[in-house]
Each structure stands twice: as structure tokens, then as C-alpha cells.
Structure 1
Amino acid sequence: MAGRQHKWHGRVEDAREACAVPSCGEPGEFRAPLTPGNFDGPGQYQYLCLDHVRAFNARYNFFEGMSPDEIEEAQSPIAGWQRQARTFAHLGADPAPAWSDFADPLDAIAARFRSGQRGRVERFSGAERAALDTLGLKEDVDRTGLRKRYSELVRKYHPDRNGGDRSFEKKLGAAIEAYQLLKGSRAFA
């Protein structure tokens, strides 16, 4: 069974020492540091009764004796975490290419793990470039522009929009095929 919760946090059970304050006859049930602010080790403690530990806590000032710069540093959210860290090696992987070599940062991430390629990564493959030509688009097109152009061509070439004229079926098929290829391309992922 777990220990019983006590009303007074930090109370020393079965205290045998008397309160450290002279002329106090109460048992010293609460531990208080002799030198406040010393957190470099276990430190020295005194044992006080409840009334005297309350008085001790009321006048306790952690920042006593510190300069304004030391106080600001102690209040920093990262206080105590400033440590030297070792530099990690690449462990066999090539360093990442320069960000300035890429139009799309995601290409830079993927390029790090492609073998044999250095420098600029091409956004589109040869088949994808041909599909862009079929749709009449340039390589700087985004997903919205691709979808918009595809919709325009479907409306233009579809027989239902041309009074049943089937002469544009090859162009419609080419536009649909080009769109299917491009929408699955990593350039639009």
C-alpha cells in the first residue's frame, strides 16, 4: 500500500531534533537550507518547527545577492540547459545540396538521397515536359494552373460542347492523358 499523504509537504516524520531557533522547544519537523540559493550540492540544512519554517519561507529570496544580469539569466526559460553539444557527422551521407540550387525546397530534400546527381534537380521528366506541351503550359505552372488549363481544354474539345463534332477526340484524349500523367507527378505532390 502506498504511503499516506501528509497535509504538510516536506515534513520529516518522527523528528528527533529540536527546532534550530534558540529558545524554541518545538520539534524540528521541516528542513530548511542554511545557505539559500546554494544548489551546487546537497548543502547544509537546519530543522525548524512549522511556525519558524513559515517565517523562513516568507523572507526567503532566491535572487538575494544577484546582479540584475544574473537575475535575468536565472529567469530565462533555458536556464541550466546551455551546454556544449557535439557536432554530428554526416555518417556516410553526402551533405545536402545548397538551398539556392533549387526552386522548390522539397526537391532539395529528395535530392540528398538520389545517387549520382549533383546540382540542380529537374522538376519534370521528359514525358512530363511533353505533357506540358500538349496542354500548352510552361514549367512554372502550379497545381491550380494545371487543373484550370485541363478544364478549359476538356470544355473546348468535348463532343457534348461542340454539338457532337468528334473531330477533336484525339486532342481530348491527349489532353486527358497528359493531365493524368502530370497530376500524379512529384512536381505537384
Structure 2
Amino acid sequence: MAGCREPGEYRAPLRPGDFDGPGTWRWLCLEHVREHNARYNFFAGMTPDEIEAAQSPIPGWAPHSRAFAGVGADPGPAWSDFKDPLDAISARFRPGGIGRRESRFSGEERHALGVLGLREDTDLHAVRRRYSQLVRRYHPDRNGGDRSHERQLGEVLAAWQKLKAARAFA
């Protein structure tokens, strides 16, 4: 800026829209670059159509284009026969590799979740809360001594024992 004695260490564009190529820049001190940034408007002087064009993605880079389509039937590349002991890359190129998700629970643990009426995306806090609700519902002391729910109570207790020891919650 004219009359400023501070060193110009920060680059600022000379004109909005001057970004087709290397650009024209001016060098400003920290105080003046802050002023410049506060009043800078890239879209100043543009028509609505020009603003929309500037905000639109470059053709071919839109996320819905074929280049970004996830196609599970794609053949593996020529280099896909390498050793991949952690299966980090080669799983994508096997049939059913994409979208297949391993459960973090064993079969017995999934059954225990079903007993409690919970899904696999639950956490231990939710399991504990649901266990407490069901114990209060089925316990004879809460039902006037009625023991008709003993079987359900036993299943809930067994499910809790199985889930609190599950490796998924370790």
C-alpha cells in the first residue's frame, strides 16, 4: 500500500477473477492484507450466470460422473496379483469385496443382542441401559412375586453376561 513502511510478506490478488494462469499479485504487510481480505469479494462485478459457472465443478469431476462411480464388477488391475497380507487393497477386486462388512460380534453375541432387542451398531452403555430396563420388567420382586417371566429374565441375564464380555466392547 502507498505510504506503508512495513515489509510486504503476504500475497493478495490484484483483481478478482484474475486466476486464469499465474495471476497478478501484490505484496502487502499483515495489517493491510487483513484489510484487503475483509473487503475482498471474488464475485464482485459478475452476473448471476458467471457466479454459478464459477461455483460449478469442472466437467468430469462431479461426484456423480462415471469416473467416480463405484462399480464392483471392475476387473482388477494388472498389478492386483501382489501379496497383500492385511487384505487392505485386494479385497476390492474379489467378488463381493465391496459392501461386504464383517460383523464385530460372534453368532452368540448377535443372538444376545436380539434377546435384548438391540442392533449391532449399539454400544456397551446402551446394552447396560436396556439390560436394566428388562431386569426391572421381568424380575419377580417388581411383579408382585409373579414368577411367570423367569424364562425371559434368565435369557436377559445370560445375554448380559455374554455381551459384557464381548470383544467388541473391549
Smaller-chain TM-score range?
0.3 to 0.5
Q: Normalising to structure 2: TM-score of the pair? A: 0.43
Q: Normalising to structure 1: TM-score of the pair? A: 0.39
Asked which structure has the greater CA Rg, the reply is: 1
Pick 1 or 2: higher relative contact order, CA cutoff 8 A, min separation 6.
Answer: 2
